[in-house]
Structure formats: structure tokens, C-alpha cells
Structure 1
Amino acid sequence: MSITVVIADDQRMVRAGLRMVIETEPDMTVIGEAGDGAEAVALTRRMRPDVVLMDIAMPRQDGLTATGTLLAGADPPRIIVLTTFDTDENLHRALRAGASGFLLKVSSPEHLITAIRVVAAGDSLLDPAVTTRVIAAFAGRPGPVPPPELGDLTPRETDVLRLIARGMSNGEIAAALTVGEATVKTHVARVLMKLGLRDRVQAVVYAYESGLVRAGNGSGPERGGVPGL
């Protein structure tokens, strides 16, 4: 079954390049393009794509505002934010907008295709450089008071949340904890449910904002390859 994609970027040449990369894949189809956030919202609501590639800096309405609007609606699409992340303000806004994936525009075509497949399957994805910026953003901040809901997690669920914050996949967490991958999936689902989080992207932010994980304590991203979360 084909994965349907909408591309939202104010640069026509960028949209053309993304379309060319995506449509080389037999299981993906670009069903629409938008040049600004407002157009992206209208087009997405009309076409109902599986995945939206959303640029941040667009006229009329920016991509983060459009992302928030779409995710607040019924049956929202999966959204991958494409950005240069040239400021921490953009990074923080993007992380809180609730998108399922974050990619730098300098990412390779192979990385883009992987991201679309990962997000369409219901998972989340962070570019390694984005994860590094998350860690750096919290470095040096005073330790916050841990929120009470952290106490609802079992010790093993807390361990899993720490490893999620390190950018580990389910398979890597299973190996680190010497348990089955199905067990890890169950723990991840319970962590998200107990903390009221949408996905693993939000879990990474939560782990740092809550003080469970601190920058500089060995909790940074360990992998240099494709960052499946």
C-alpha cells in the first residue's frame, strides 16, 4: 500500500527536489504541494496524506503553527519537520509542536526516505544533530523539581525512559537491559501512557525537562548513523 505524502515548503525548487527523491520509491506517492503553512493545512485536510513534510520558515503561516493546527484536529497526519534549526528558539518550538520527526535539510535522500517510512509506521525520528542540540539546550540549567508523575513509573520503566533519551531504538534498549524487544515495546507504551506523551520525541524532551536525564552525564546520543527512535 502506497505511503501518501504532502510537501510544504515555500521554495519551489526544494519541493521539486523532494518530490523527485520520494517518487523514486515504488511505495510512496506525493499527492500535493503547498507553499505556506495555511495552504499546507487546507491541502492536508482535503487530501488526508499519511505524512506531511513541513518546512518551518514559510510566509503567511509558519510550519510550526501549521503543525500545531493539524495535530489539534481529528485523525491528524504524521508530520516531519524539515529545518536548518539555525536558532534554539526554533528548535524548542519544533519539539513542542508535537511533530513525529525532525530532519535537517542537509540530510541525505536515503535518510529522508527512511524517516518517511519510520514515521508512517507510527514511530518517531530525530536527526542526531537535533538530539545533540536538545542536550546542549539543557546543559547548565538548574535542576528542576521532578514532576510527581515520574513516581508512577516502575524502576524498569524509568530505565527505559533514560535510554529513550539517549536516542536508543527498541532493539538497542532490549540489548542494554537484556530483555526481549516485545517487552521493551510494552514498557515504552506504558511510559508514554503514564506520562501523557504522544511519542518518543516528546519523551526525549520530557526526560531532560523533568531532570531525569541531565546533559553531560553520559546520556547523549551514541550512534552516528540513521537515528531511528
Structure 2
Amino acid sequence: MTLYKVDQPETLIRRKQVLIVDDHPVTRHGMRTLINADGRYEVCGEVDSAPKALEAMGRLSPDVAIVDVALKSTNGIELTRGLRAQSTRTEVIVVSMHDENVYAERALRAGAMGYLMKQEASETMIEALNCVLAGKVYLSPAMKDKLLRRYVSQRAERSSTPIDKITDREMEVLELLGEGFGTREIANRLKLSVKTIDSYREHLKAKLSLPTSGDLMRYAVQRMRDDSNEPAVMARPATERVET
């Protein structure tokens, strides 16, 4: 374990303290040189294992811990959980040679605020430090886009309603039912067969979880009222309306 005593004049702005957790001495040296070259950050310690990292956290209370995924004693994802459990004030950036598509999301779920590839660290390390200490998540643009698209897709699935499952043609049939038209009339208006309209009605009942044709008619009429904000008066008498 290598710890560094930091003496800074009180008149100077305190440099943010960084702990490096990596079991490759050459990699640690490169990171330390890069970070210390920036006047805003200073490496306060280097360790090569998870137990030493947890011990150093207690001694140093760093602002950021940079953690390699592949450690000899344990993996960096598990260590990230341990570091976050020990101190919520220390942000964690996970670095790895492994594909971010495999580990980035796992790192975030474990409590990390950033993930970067080692081969890009020399260009992006300071940017990542700035980002996480500003309270933001740091990921590559490609990974951000992937996670955002997944979030939007999952949100759309969660917020979908039965009416969202209806096709455009089924919606036409539903609206015409709500206006009071019967199966044959709808078939004539849409230039389709009666059998096809019957099929659409069955699809609508299934998608809307409506047991009977009467339930479908009532749903269609109510939907028309809701859309138009009109009182419950049908423009046409519904003599043929309940069809099976």
C-alpha cells in the first residue's frame, strides 16, 4: 500500500483527493502522473487489492476512488459495493480493459458514478473526474446513448395501455362502432368484407379485455363521449349494435 502525505497551504484551494485501486504498478504510475499533473486533483494513495482499498478508505477519506475491474483478490464491481457501503461521500470510477457493454451497467448498479476504458483513460480521466465530482454520471457517448434508448423503451413498455396495442385499422373500426355503425355498415364504409370486420371486432375484444360484443359497443361509445366531451347521447339508434 502506498499512501501520500498531502501538505497544502491553507490559502490554496484544496485539491481533490484520489485513491487508485489497481494491481498493475505501471498502470498506477501512469494514472498518478496524469492526475497529479492537473492542479485540481492529487493522488492520496495507491493500493493493489480490495482489503487494502477498504483500509485506505478509512484512513484517507478520498473524494474519488478509481477502481480496476480485474483485481486479484476480488473483482472491482464487488469492491465498488463495499466502498460505497463504507463511505457514500467517496465517488467511484471503474476502469477496465473489458468491453463497456459488459461491465458499465453493472458498475453503475454497484454504485459507481463512472466507467471508462483503460485504453481511453489518458484522454478521458480528467473529464471523468470533473464529471463525477459535479454529481453527474460519466460514460462514453456510445454507452450513454445505449442506456438512454433502453430506458426510453422500458418506460414506454411500462406506460403502455391496452389502447396502445390497437392497430390503425382496428382503431378505425372502434371509432365507427362508437359512432353507432353496425358491422355491415362498417364493412361498406371501409370496403372490407363483413368477415374481416368481425375479425377486427374479435381482436378488439381480446386486446381490450372485453368479454362480449355488448361490452365492446359500450366501450366504443364511451370512448367517443370522452373524446368529444359530449353528453351521453348517440347520434344514431343502436338497433343492430350488439353483434356476435
Selected match of 1:76 from 84, 89, 92? 89
Selected match of 2:75 from 62, 83, 94? 62
Task: Name the larger-Rg structure.
Answer: 2
Correspondence for 1:109: 122
2:15 matched to 1:30?
A: no
Deviations 1:70-93 (A, max 9, x none): 112344301111123337543342
TM-score by length of 1: 0.55
Change (3 A) 1:29 1:90: same
Separation of aligned partners in 2, 1:145 and 1:133:
18
Query: How does 1:145-160 map onto structure 2 within 5 Å?
Result: 145-146=158-159
Once superposed, which parts of structure 1, at least 4 consecutive aligned residues long, lie more than 4 Å away? Answer: 135-141
Selected match of 2:141 from 128, 134, 139? 128
Which amino acid in 1 is paired with 2:82?
T
SS of residue in 2 equivalent to 1:106: helix
SS of residue in 2 equivalent to 1:126: coil
Query: How does 1:1-229 map onto structure 2 within 5 Å?
Result: 1-86=14-99, 88-132=101-145, 134=147, 144-146=157-159
SS of residue in 2 equivalent to 1:107: helix
Separation of aligned partners in 2, 1:42 and 1:146:
45
Q: Provide structure 1 residue ranges, at least 5 long, that are not aligned to the other structure.
A: 148-229
Change (3 A) 1:136 1:117: closer
Separation of aligned partners in 1, 2:22 and 2:105:
20
Which amino acid in 2 is paired with 1:97?
A
In terms of fraction of residues, the more helix-rich structure is 2
1:120 is displaced (CA, Å) by 2.0
Separation of aligned partners in 1, 2:66 and 2:133:
12
SS of residue in 2 equivalent to 1:80: strand
TM-score by length of 2: 0.52
Deviations 1:127-157 (A, max 9, x none): 224335546888999x75459xxxxxxxxxx
Q: Higher relative contact order by CA 8 Å / sep ≥ 6: 1 or 2? A: 1
Change (3 A) 1:119 1:12: same
1:49 is displaced (CA, Å) by 0.4
Deviations 1:6-26 (A, max 9, x none): 011111100000001011112
Change (3 A) 1:4 1:24: same
Contact 2:18/2:62 (<8 A) preserved: yes
Which amino acid in 2 is paired with 1:63?
G
RMSD of aligned Cα (Å): 2.9
Q: Provide structure 2 residue ranges, at least 5 long, that are not aligned to the other structure.
A: 1-13, 161-244
- Identity between Structure 1 and Structure 2 (%): 30
